[in-house]
Amino acid sequence: DGGITQSPKYLFRKEGQNVTLSCEQNLNHDAMYWYRQDPGQGLRLIYYSQIVNDFQKGDIAEGYSVSREKKESFPLTVTSAQKNPTAFYLCASSFGEGGHEQYFGPGTRLTVT
Amino acid sequence: AQRVTQPEKLLSVFKGAPVELKCNYSYSGSPELFWYVQYSRQRLQLLLRHISRESIKGFTADLNKGETSFHLKKPFAQEEDSAMYYCALSGHAGGTSYGKLTFGQGTILTVHP
């Protein structure tokens, strides 16, 4: 089941530690996205990248950082500045232009205690 | 700013009954609307998009610009339709469409036997 992968599936961290979530795609998509999924709040966009070496903040970027050094990879770092980091994180990719389907990864559940 | 509202968090129907999942949006430009679905233990995936005007798994959705709505309908619900459904909007600006999506809060549909 290739396409877009996220690792690990579950991640546990202590408060105050930064943690990086992996997202890789082999679909040759230009655009990649990070969402956070919380019960009752739907999916909220954290960061997105439409091309390598470029990315933009989404609606809830505070406390997060990303990089896009390769087309295939878009890692997300949850920093200690993020006040409520415990959540389910979804990565997605698409051909970039609007109207194209976004393909989602299986998600990573992060728990910070 | 763009916003998507799904007024029902939970929706329950019996098998064979009609179902309608509501979606309203707010956007000043020309939107593209989508429905995404997440079945139990599966990835979030595209169900249908308004521009295709297609019926997928018996579901249809019509964009009503006057009422700014994009409700998802199926005349006869099946148990396998039970899932989380998200309405999403992609905006346009200056003749270019953006890839990023704004999601609603989601509706959990349960179809009882």
DSSP A50-113: EETTEEEE-TT-TTEEE--SBTTB--EEE-TT-S---EEEEEEEE-SSTTSPPEE---EEEEE-
Alpha-carbon separation of residue A32 from A11, A68, A78, B29, B104 (angstroms): 21, 9, 17, 24, 20
Q: For chain A, how many residues are written?
A: 113
Q: Does B32 contact chain A (CB < 8 Å)? A: yes
In degrees, rounded to 5, the angle at the alpha carbon of residue B36 between the alpha carbons of residues A91 and A66 is: 15
Dist. CA B85–CA B46, nearest whole Å? 10
Long-range interactions of B40-43: CB distance < 8 A, separation 24+: B40/B82, B40/B83, B43/A104, B43/A105, B43/A106, B43/A107
Buried b or exposed e, range B61-72, using 16+ CB within 10 angstroms: bebeeeeebbbb
Name every chain B residue with its beta carbon within 8 A of the beta carbon of A102: 36, 46, 99, 101
Whole-number average pLDDT of chain B = 90
Contact status of B101 with chain A (Cβ, < 8 Å): yes
Asked if B45 and A104 touch (Cβ cutoff 8 Å), the reply is yes
Q: How far is CA A98 from the centre of its chain?
A: 19
Confidence of residue B99 (pLDDT cuts 50, 70, 90): low
- At A99 the pLDDT is 55
Mutation target vs A (from B101, B102, B108; most A CBs, 10 A cutoff): B101
Digit-by-digit pLDDT tens for chain A (113 residues) are 569 999 999 999 999 999 999 999 999 999 999 999 998 788 999 999 988 999 999 989 999 999 999 999 999 999 988 889 999 999 999 986 555 789 999 999 999 99
Judge: B9–A94 Cβ closer than 8 Å, yes or no.
no
